[in-house]
Amino acid sequence: MKIKEYRTQFIQELSTIYDAGEAESFFYLILEDKKQLKRIDLALTPDLTFSDDEIQLWNSILEQLKLENPIQYLLGKTSFYGLDFEVNENVLIPRPETEELVEWVITNQQINESTNQLKILDIGTGSGCIAISLAKNIPNAQVFTIDVSEKALATAQKNATMNQVEVNFIKTDILKTDDLGKLPTSHFPLPTSFDIIVSNPPYVRELEKIEIKKNVLDNEPHLALFVADNDALVFYRKIAELAQKNLSPNGQLFFEINQYLGKEMLELLENMGFKNIELRKDIYGNDRMIRGTR
């Protein structure tokens, strides 16, 4: 069967669930992953064909997409900040908004032009996308990262190796931590203070589940997504308390936040004595990132 003909069939079968543009993007992502062909290759060679075995494989993926399983999990990978990452059911799929957070941290360091070694801590690392992107793009950074999930940390470690960066991984429950400088580590010394602490912790309230797409709600780890309605800032409060103790003087705290809680986050950091607080919107115009200086 000609690939061009299958493409038309593929998009039509997904049209009741996804819009045509999204279905087409799925087709080309799979085409590049499974056959190492790009859109331009198909345009230049329209008579390219799929074998019967390839059709079977594609039909299997198509059925999974109809069940709204994320394309990133089906392929086992995604791109983030120009890097490739393995993703699976143990980690969240990195979002473009989080790339904006990473860009903010990197740009901030370029402006400061510090040549000293920076000690950076990423709390709740998941796939490792924040920590690894920072390690890759800030040459003078020593990066540490925390997660409560052993399986998430295993995925993040693979991603660090794949992207050829050194990141120090720590398994711990941040809510049960009293001092970041006293976390148990066996293979590397842990600083008692950090120049940057960054986190994209769970922040979706239970009441907001109705806004979450089915493919996210049914597949991505709820541990990394949701917080109780009556204490939505539990992770932010705890991390800010630890930052008061473990950020170096003039060290900076960066968060990705719930778009509906920008005002509450400003108040939290102000009340905890942080200075130079800045709230930023994402590409969609939502309050999404905040920074404070110790």
pLDDT tens sequence across 80-117? 999 999 999 999 999 999 999 999 999 998 777 666 78
> If you average pLDDT over residues 156-180, what whole number do you get?
95
Measure the CA–CA gap between 101 and 94, rounded to whole angstroms: 12
Q: In terms of Cα–Cα distance, which of 27, 34, 33, 32 is closest to 4?
A: 27
Tokens in use for 147?
């997660």
- The one-letter code for the residue type at 129 is C
**pLDDT for res 217:** 84
Say whether pLDDT at 2 is over 80.
Answer: yes
Which region among 15-24, 162-171, 231-240 has the lowest average model confidence (pLDDT)? 15-24
> If you average pLDDT over residues 152-177, what whole number do you get?
96
**pLDDT for res 219:** 85
Residues 6+ apart with CB under 8 A from 277: 266, 269, 270, 290, 291, 292, 293
Summarize pLDDT for 276-290 with one digit per residue, the tens: 999 999 999 999 999
Q: Within 13 Å, how many C-alpha atoms sit on residue 169's CB side?
A: 25
SS3 68: coil
**pLDDT for res 89:** 93
Measure the CA–CA gap between 135 and 143, rounded to whole angstroms: 6
pTM here is: 0.91
Measure the CA–CA gap between 102 and 131, rounded to whole angstroms: 9
Average pLDDT, the chain: 93
H/E segment holding residue 277: strand 275-281
